Structure 1
């Protein structure tokens, strides 16, 4: 029996909606007149190296708000709200969190690489600045993390012909990732909120309308020759390792797919320990919602992801 048919075989009382969620929200700190803040990471928050929920991303001015694991989208959004409130109270009174994915008018010189104590992380960001430019790093968004519920995965496994729960879960997430890459344009169509860039942000002329600069070829994306296969977990791991070995990627985490496997520190560990959850990375900040993503969006995306399990798998994966 294929994974395509498993959802149809479940009992109607099965916990189909069971899942855990986590959100990561990026925002630039700006002054009240709309310029990039030139202050350091808020000292009131203590050391960003150990803060569990409020850190810095690429630049000193880019906050990253991270929720703990939640058992519902409603709880994840409530926690994001609480963390956002703390961040808003902790920044300088003359600063605000910029509500758009595309940054305000800025220059490369205004963007300060995060003043991190960890030498590797600091050098890693310096390499990224050299490779992609600082401006693209200032584009912000939301990452939507989801793990299918343990009871749901067990019920699907019992309806399958797999003998290993770990291998089954890997295949389940591989199928979900493949279909996400196939249909993610729908989410950009519905929730794309980055159709404009400040004058001078791009050096080239862009003639056609763009739903989301962040999710387009003009966003912060890998070079077009970086092609990682989702045909199998082993091929996914091997492809990324080969790009790191050749120097085309400086680290495994420089692979910027719209969906990534998560739960292990190193990609090769997925072959031994398995995939824990998926990270979906194609969400622009919603400027009409004070948290950057609405409850309706969170719930719609959850149902969308479940529909990807129901739909047939991609035939020609690569």
Structure 2
């Protein structure tokens, strides 16, 4: 397995997003998810991503802690804090206060069954707490040995610079795929600061796999029903564009998922995509994208396709409102 560096942290060139193993994308299967995590480790994929708000009561962290029991030393584990939910799963708000940081880490460590977290992110910035205060508290966690490295998620360049003056930021996590490229505006700052980029939803929340053909394919409890790119005329236009990605895939004798992931991987050795899946078959397909070599004409076609995408994913509003 190829390795890449996020700041000073070395991880597998591709990670595994674990959110959908517990919630948001329809039915879940814990046993299947655990098998997939074990398969990832067997393949040399060692970078696992979660958050304390994935699954009611932090159930995603508990699942991963169970799956990694006896194999913790082989895994690089990342999780996030800051989005507060009640016992029914309702979002109560964002909390970046230092005392909340200290409380959240202990709860995550307990669920994970470990005494340290490799990469700890603030999930979203708290508009009521200066980022310097939140990162200052996270820095204390590093001094105490509870956290190895600090990351931020869903912030812009200015916040990243301010935070870096308090403590080195190892990685920025942001949505990044061939049809969600806003973070490219932040990439120069990321590289100037020596951070890495962890790309979540590199498959366009599953749409770029080509497996979604109708809005009705989403289960009633699938969060993607709430995103504009999957609704009305937007859905039809974007479906036609995905068919063009599928054509590029056929020409290269690979899948559309592998084309999308190969594109992200080509954007820089400091970028690590974390496609999410709970299925071993999909995991294998994603990992094999590391071997895909796209031609220059493919990249030109992909850029043209990406420029025509309609609708928007807004993690700071759409996602929270859908919960």
Report the TM-score, using the length of structure 2 for normalisation: 0.26
| Structure of larger gyration radius | 1
Relative contact order higher in (CA < 8 Å, ≥ 6 apart): 1
Q: Which has the higher helix share?
A: 2
Report the TM-score, using the length of structure 1 for normalisation: 0.26
